[in-house]
C-alpha cells in the first residue's frame, strides 16, 4: 500500500482517537457518578429516547457530561443556517462561490457555531440543575449555579470547536470527510453499549429472543437497501464530435455522466437531526408546562418526531441536491469540450434534459432517505423494543463508510497512475 495513503489513514485514526479521549473529559463542576445515575434512570423512562439519541451522536459523551457532549451538531446547525441564507441572499451566494470569499464564508460559519454552542451549553447546564441522583438524592452539580453555567458554557463550547478543528484536520490531512467521520465515530462508539443492553434484556427476559432476531433482520435489510441505492446511478451517455475523436487517435470516445439516485448523500438526515436536536438541547430540563409538552411531542420515540424527520429529510434532500448538481454548468462544460448527449441539442436543451433526470432521481432519493430514516424505528417500535433505534444512525454509518472506501480507492488508483507515469508507461 502507498506510504502516503498509510500516513493519511494513521492521521485519521489518530484524530478519531483524540475524539474518543475527549469523550471521557468531564465538564468542570460535575459529579460524574451522579450524572451516570440520572442518565441511566432517564434511559429507562419514557423520555429515554431523547438521551439515547444525544448519547448516540456524541459517542456516549453525554453520559459523562463531557466537554464534547454537544458533539459537532452546533456546527451542522450553523452550516444549515448559512446554506439557507446563501440560497436567499445573493451576496452570501456570491461569496461562497469565490475562493477568497469561501474563506470569509467559513469564518462566519465558525463564529455562528460558537454562538449556537454557547446557547445550547447554557441551556443544558441550566437543565442539569434539576437532575438529582435517584439513589441518595445528591445533585449532579458540585458548584454554585452561576459558576457552573459559566464553566459549562466555556468548556462545552471549546469542546465543540476542538471537534470542528479535528474534523478540518481529518479532511485536509487524512482520508474522508472529517465532520462525517466524527459523527460516524460517535455512532460506532455507542454500538457496544447498545449490544450490551440487548443482551442484558434477553438474559433478564425483558426482550424476547424472537424479537432480537427480527431487529437483526430489520438492520440487515436496512443496510442492504442503503448499499444498493447508494451504489446505483443513472448513466447519461455522452458522445464527442468527430474532431475530438480524431484528436483522440481515431478512437471513438464514449463517456457518460453519472447521476446518483441519492444526489444529496448523507447530508439530509444529518441536517434533520441537527435541526431537531437544537431546541431539544436548549429546552431540556425546563419545568414550564408548555415547554415540557413540546419536549414530549418531540420525543425521538414518538410519532411526531419521526413524522417531522420524514418531511425535513425530503426538504433537505431537494435543497442540497440543487446545490451539488447544477445541470446548466454541466451542459456548458460539455458543450465547450465538444461533447453532446445523443438525441439532445447542446446547451439549453441538454441542461433541461439533465434537470429533468435529476428531478426524477431526487424525488426517488428523497423518499428513500425519508423512509430509511423513519421506517426502521416504526418497525422496531411495533415490536415493543425499550430503546431508541433509528435508521438515521444506520444510514450515516453505511454512507460514511462507503464514501471513505471510495476515497481510499481513489487514492490507491492515483498512486498507481503516478507510479506508471514515473516509469514511462
State the DSSP string of 189-242. Answer: HHHHHHHHHHHHHHHTTSS-HHHHHHHHHHHHHHHHHHHHHHH-EEEEEEEE-H
pLDDT at 1: 58
Grid cell digits, residue 260: 446518483
| Range list of H helices, 70-177 | 73-88, 90-97, 99-128, 145-173
pLDDT at 151: 92
> At CA 375, angle to CA 374 and CA 380, rounded to 5?
105
- How does pLDDT run across 335-366, given as a tens digit for each residue? 888 888 888 888 888 889 999 999 999 999 99
Closest CA to 5 of 424, 333, 405, 421: 405
Q: What distances in angstroms separate CA 11 from CA 7, 67, 123, 176, 339, one per listed residue?
A: 6, 23, 35, 11, 41
- How does pLDDT run across 163-215, given as a tens digit for each residue? 999 999 999 998 888 888 998 888 888 777 777 777 777 777 777 778 778 87
Query: Class for domain 207-425, per CATH?
Result: mainly alpha
* Dist. CA 180–CA 73, nearest whole Å: 11
Domain residue ranges in the chain: 1-192, 207-425
pLDDT at 13: 92
Residue that the C-alpha cell 493519511 belongs to: 8
The CATH number of 1-192, from 3.40.50.300, 1.10.760.10, 3.30.420.40, 1.10.3370.10, is 1.10.3370.10
Any idea what DSSP says for residue 286? -
pLDDT at 385: 61
Same CATH topology for 1-192 and 207-425: the answer is: yes
* CB distance 152 to 35 below 8 Å: no
* CB distance 61 to 68 below 8 Å: yes
pLDDT at 110: 93
pLDDT at 252: 47
Taking 70 as the pLDDT cut, the residues of the chain under it are 1, 41-57, 241-254, 282-288, 291, 380, 383-390, 417-425
As beta bridge partners, residue 259 has 234
Cβ within 8 Å of residue 112, ≥6 positions away: 78, 81, 82
* CB distance 69 to 63 below 8 Å: no
pLDDT at 15: 93
The secondary element (H helix, E strand) that includes residue 256 is strand 254-260
The strand order across the sheet containing 339-340 reads 254-260, 233-240, 339-340
* Dist. CA 222–CA 379, nearest whole Å: 11
What's the pTM? 0.81
Q: End-to-end alpha-carbon separation of the chain, Å?
A: 20
Amino acid at each position: 500500500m502507498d506510504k502516503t495513503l498509510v500516513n493519511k489513514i494513521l492521521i485519521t485514526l489518530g484524530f478519531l482517537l483524540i475524539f474518543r479521549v475527549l469523550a471521557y473529559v468531564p465538564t468542570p463542576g460535575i459529579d460524574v457518578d451522579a450524572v451516570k445515575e440520572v442518565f441511566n434512570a432517564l434511559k429507562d423512562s419514557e423520555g429515554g429516547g431523547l438521551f439515547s439519541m444525544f448519547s448516540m451522536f456524541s459517542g456516549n459523551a453525554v453520559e459523562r457530561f463531557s466537554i464534547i457532549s454537544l458533539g459537532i451538531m452546533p456546527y451542522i446547525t450553523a452550516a444549515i443556517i448559512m446554506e439557507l441564507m446563501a440560497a436567499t441572499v445573493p451576496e452570501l451566494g456570491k461569496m461562497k462561490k469565490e475562493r477568497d470569499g469561501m474563506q470569509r464564508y467559513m469564518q462566519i460559519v465558525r463564529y455562528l457555531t460558537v454562538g449556537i454552542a454557547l446557547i445550547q451549553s447554557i441551556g443544558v447546564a441550566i437543565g442539569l440543575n434539576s437532575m438529582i441522583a435517584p439513589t441518595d438524592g445528591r445533585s449532579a452539580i458540585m458548584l454554585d449555579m452561576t459558576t457552573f453555567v459559566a464553566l459549562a458554557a466555556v468548556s462545552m463550547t471549546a469542546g465543540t470547536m476542538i471537534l470542528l478543528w479535528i474534523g478540518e484536520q481529518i479532511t485536509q490531512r487524512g482520508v474522508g470527510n472529517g465532520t462525517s467521520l466524527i459523527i460516524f465515530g460517535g455512532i460506532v462508539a455507542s454500538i457496544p453499549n447498545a449490544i450490551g443492553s440487548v443482551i442484558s434484556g434477553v438474559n433478564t427476559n425483558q426482550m424476547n429472543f424472537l424479537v432480537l432476531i427480527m431487529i437483526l433482520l430489520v438492520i440487515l435489510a436496512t443496510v442492504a437497501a442503503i448499499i444498493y441505492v447508494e451504489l446505483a446511478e443513472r448513466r447519461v451517455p455522452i458522445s464527442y464530435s468527430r474532431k475530438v475523436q480524431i484528436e483522440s487517435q481515431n478512437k471513438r470516445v464514449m463517456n457518460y455522466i453519472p447521476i446518483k439516485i441519492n444526489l444529496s448523500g448523507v447530508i439530509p438526515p444529518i441536517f434533520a437531526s441537527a435541526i431537531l436536536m437544537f431546541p431539544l438541547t436548549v429546552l431540556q430540563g425546563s419545568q414550564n408546562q408548555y415547554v415540557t409538552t413540546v419536549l414530549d411531542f418531540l420525543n425521538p420515540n414518538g410519532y411526531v418526531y419521526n413524522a417531522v424527520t420524514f418531511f425535513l429529510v425530503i426538504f433537505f434532500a431537494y435543497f442540497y441536491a440543487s446545490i451539488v448538481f447544477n445541470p446548466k454548468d454541466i451542459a456548458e462544460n460539455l458543450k465547450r469540450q465538444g461533447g453532446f448527449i445523443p438525441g439532445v441539442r447542446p446547451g439549453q436543451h441538454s441542461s433541461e434534459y439533465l434537470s429533468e433526470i435529476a428531478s426524477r432521481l431526487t424525488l426517488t432519493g428523497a423518499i428513500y432517505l425519508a423512509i430509511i430514516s423513519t421506517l426502521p424505528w416504526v418497525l422496531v417500535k411495533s415490536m415493543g423494543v425499550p430503546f431508541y433505534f433509528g435508521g438515521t444512525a444506520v444510514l450515516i454509518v453505511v454512507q460514511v463508510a462507503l464514501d471513505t472506501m471510495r476515497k481510499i480507492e481513489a487514492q490507491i488508483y492515483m498512486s498507481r497512475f503516478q507510479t506508471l507515469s514515473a516509469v514511462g508507461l
